[in-house]
Structure formats: structure tokens, C-alpha cells
Amino acid sequence: MRFIVAGIMHETHTFSAEPTTIETLDILRGEELLRFAGTNHSVGGTIDQCRALGIDILPAYFAAGVSTGVPSRATFDALTAELCERVAALLPADGIVLNLHGAMVAEDFPDAEAEIARRVRDVSGHTIPLAITLDFHANIGQSMVDMATIVTTYDTYPHIDAGERAGEAVTLLKQAVEGTIAPLMSLVKPPLLPVPQAMYTSSEPFRSVFERAHRAEEAGEALSVTVAGGFPYADVLDAGVSVLVTTDGNTARADALAIELASLLWDAREQFIVANVPPAGAVAEAISSSEWPVVLVDVGDNIGGGTPGDGTVLLAELLKQGAQDATVFIADAESAAAAYSAGPGKLVELSVGGKTDRLHGEPVLICGSVRSTSDGRWVHEGPENAGVPVEMGPTAVVRVEGVNLVLTTHKTMPGDLQQLRSVGIEPLSQRILVVKAAVRWRGGYEPVNRHSILVNTPGLGSVDLSSFDFQHVRRPIYPLDREATWSHV
């Protein structure tokens, strides 16, 4: 049995001004995809399960990047053209696995995943079984589902089961190819648009919903149950929560279970309302805490959710209040290059951050000593993305009064303690750790976290969805429209 493996993974923040181009994405071709083997990644899980089941792997193409703005039609066409060309060159095959994100938007294609799947179908034929793996933050649309034989998403946020869920898709695809199952999917989308902070799957309401979903799978009610929280910063019709149930040819059972799970989330909708602590109060609370390290969560500059990573609000407040032994990461290529060039032991005066836009704070003038420099390379310890390498680009640690300011060339999602240790900072030696995230940080930081404070910082990761000029999401939708109603009838 031969499976083609390919994909494009991009979570698109449609309100972001950061460009998404061929150059901003990491692209692997052919055998290069096999680098993911043994890692907790969707491509890694696909490869590992194919090998475990004795399936020949035909690696084609994979492109991915940190969340940024909408790629142009030309960029999207170039990406999909090469993907499809490489898929076509590997035919014939018994099945295709596409590792996608689920919240990609491109110019002219609000449901980019549906278009990717359609183009792959056009070159491969519409009879080859197709599995699609998605991120938990997928905005799942019916058009994409109609193109697929199997669809799975992560069950966790932080995403600690990416490899496992991709492996599940491979197993189900193999069974479909063999004819031992006849997958049938039912998609239900209640009008819910929660922010990432409200999607922590170890807390309510998602915890109870996943417990019910897993019971259904274990009892044989469904082959697979997907519950996706969605990505609210993509202004598209399908944005928001999705429940997708796959059964072995049983339409009534798939519909009933999907409606049941969607209803559980709808009934718990008030739990999706969140309120965070203002920056000044959050920093004061962190400084006065008797337990440390304290994790200050810079929700407004949530890198994994499409923000630039150069927000300065918490840096400015930490300096203003005289915080000691605090660490802050700022993605600022210009400042990182200057500090890196100066070298360890040198004093530098820099205007830091606030350069992508003015939504995340103004640039901060700093004077400090360069403590260390590095190439910015490290490998995820996990559990999320375990084994996957990272390149922050030339990086410098600058000591500014009581703050360790880590300047990176590229924005990098926090969520792994190796990010800190790679630049010589031991997390337990710090009183305050600032993370530019919503939930992802919990995956790596929970073992050292003594107290966390979710901060109401401004920016593209704001939990106040009313601050965004939505034009295309379906309305009414909760919590944008508190009066929204829903009936599954």
C-alpha cells in the first residue's frame, strides 16, 4: 500500500499586516519530509504510523509558517501548484494524506483548505481516498469535508497529540482503502466564536465535551470524533466551533452525536467569556508574589495566534515598576542584529519593539549590557512539537536594569522551556517570565509555573472580539452577539 504525504499549514490572521510569502514559509520537498519522523508533529505522526502499518511513504511537499496575514493569490497559487505537481509525479497511490491547518485564508479563497483539497483531487482523481489532518483551531467548512474521506484534528490545546491524531487518520485511511470501513462524516457548527484563551482543553467546557467524545469512540458509537475550537481572528464565514463525527456508514448516529456535542458547547457558552488583568496591576501582582516564577501571559501579543511578537506593553511596565529577574522575549530583527553585532559585554542603546504596527505598544528606548548571543537554534523538548527544531535567527540577551530582554530575529511561539535554556536562562532562576501566548505556554511551562496572570494587553490577540471589524463571519454569533440563539432542529 502506498500513501502520498503532503501539506500546507498556515493559520491566517486576516487582520494582520504581516505578509505571508513564499520566503516567510519553511518548505520541505520529497525526502526532506522524513525529517519529521519520530516527532510530535502531524507530518511526523503520519510518517510514523505509515511505517508502523507497513505502508510505503511517498513524501511530496510540505510548507508551513507561524501565523501571519493573508497570502496573495499569486503566493497561494505558487504553493498549491508545486504541491499538486509533486503529488501528480508520485501517482499512482492508494491514498493521500494532507497535513493542513484548517484556518488558512488566501486572497480569493476564504476556505483555503477546501481549495487545496480540490486542486489535489483534480490532479489525483476523485476516487483515491484522502485523509486530511487539521489543527484544533481549524475553521472547518463543509466544502473541505466533502473533498475528504477522513478528517481529524488535535484533541488538545496545548497541542500535545498532533502525532497521535495524524496516526489515527492514517489508520482510518488504510481501513477505508481496504474496504473494511465506509466512513461517513456529519458536520455541525453552532454559532460560537470563542477566543483561544477560552479553549484550554483541560478546563471546561471543552474538557467535558472531549470526555464524552472519547467515550463515544471507545464504545464504538463513532470511528472518530473531531471537536475544533476554531480560529476567531480569521474573518470568514466558517469561523468558529465545529463538531465533526465520522461513523462507519451510519448517518443517523453521526448526526445525533454531532448535535449532542455541539449542544453541550452551546449550553456552556457563557464560559467562553474571559476577562484579564490590566498590565499595571498584573505586573504589580507579579512583583509582590511570594511564589515564583510568575508567568505573565501577554495575551494581546499571542504569537501563535498571528501577532507580531514585538509587543512592548509588559516590557515598559516591568521597567517602570522596577521588576527584578524578569525575562521578556521581543521579536525585533533590527535590534537583535545590533545587539548581536555589538557582542557580549557591550553596552547598547536601542529602540525596541513596536515596529510591525502600533497595536501592541510603542517602541521602548533601552540601554543595557549584552549578556550573550546565539544563533537562535534549539529543539523542542515537548510535549508539544517534541523533536521539532526551531530557528529564532541571530539572538541576543540584553540585561536592562532587572530585566533579561531576549531579542530574536524571528518571532517564535513560546511553549517550551528549551527556548529559555537555549539562550542561557534557567526558568527557575527567574521571578517573572513573560510569554506571548494564550494557552500554548502551558505545555512546557506548567512544571515551573507557580502563579500565572493572564494580562489584558492590547493587540491582534485581544480577547475583546468587538474591537475587530468583522465583515464576513456568520451573524449572529456568540459572543460577538450576546443575543444569539441556536437550534439544531
Phi-psi region of 357 (alpha: psi -120 to 50; beta: other; left: phi over 0): beta
DSSP 390-447: EE--SEEEEEETTEEEEEESS------THHHHTTT--GGG-SEEEE--SSTTHHHHTT
The answer to the question of residue 233 being in a domain is: yes
Mutual orientation of helices 162-178 and 42-52 as an angle, nearest 10°? 50
The domain boundary, picked from 272, 290, 314, lies at 272
Same-domain status, 299 and 261: no
Q: How many CB atoms lie within 10 A of CB 76?
A: 23
Residues 36 and 115 in one domain: yes
- Does 486 reside within a domain? no
Task: Give me the pLDDT at residue 434, please.
Answer: 98
Same domain, 291 and 252: no
Q: What pLDDT is recorded for position 489?
A: 60
Do 135 and 66 lie in one domain? The reply is: yes
Task: Give domain status of residue 473, yes or no.
Answer: no
pLDDT, tens digit only, all 489 positions of the chain: 999 999 999 999 999 999 999 999 999 999 999 999 999 999 999 999 999 999 999 999 999 999 999 999 999 999 999 999 999 999 999 999 999 999 999 999 999 999 999 999 999 988 999 999 999 999 999 999 999 999 999 999 999 999 999 999 999 999 999 999 999 999 999 999 999 999 999 999 999 999 999 999 999 999 999 999 999 999 999 999 999 999 999 999 999 999 999 999 999 999 999 999 999 999 999 999 999 999 999 999 999 999 999 999 999 999 999 999 999 999 999 999 999 999 999 999 999 999 999 899 999 999 999 999 999 999 999 899 999 999 999 999 999 999 999 999 999 999 999 999 999 999 999 999 999 999 999 999 999 999 999 999 999 999 999 999 999 999 999 999 999 999 876
Q: Write out the three cell numbers for 333.
A: 530583527
Residue 478 domain-assigned (yes or no) = no
Instruction: Kindly state whether residues 254 and 291 are assigned to the same domain.
Output: no
Name the one residue in this structure whose C-alpha cell is 527556548: 419
480 located within any domain = no
Q: Which residues contact 190 (CB under 8 A, 6 or more apart)?
A: 240, 241, 243, 262, 263, 265, 266, 486, 488
Point out which residues pair with 75 in neighbouring strands: none
Note whether residue 469 is domain-resident. no
- Are 302 and 411 members of one domain? yes
- The pLDDT of residue 394 is 98
- Give residues with Cβ within 8 angstroms of 168, minimum separation 6: 152, 224
How many separate domains does the chain show? 2
Residue 132 lies in a domain: yes
Residues 165, 22 share a domain:
yes
286 and 378 both lie in a single domain:
yes
Say yes or no: 267 and 316 in one domain.
no
Measured CA to CA, the distance from residue 3 to residue 80 in angstroms comes to 19
Q: Are residues 167 and 311 in the same domain?
A: no
> Does residue 337 share a domain with residue 192?
no
**Residue 241 domain-assigned?**
yes
Q: Rounded to an integer, what distance in angstroms lies between the CA atom of residue 298 and that of residue 458? A: 9
Instruction: Give the domain extent around 355.
Output: 279-462
What CATH number does residue 76 fall under? 3.40.50.2300
Q: Are residues 387 and 426 in the same domain?
A: yes
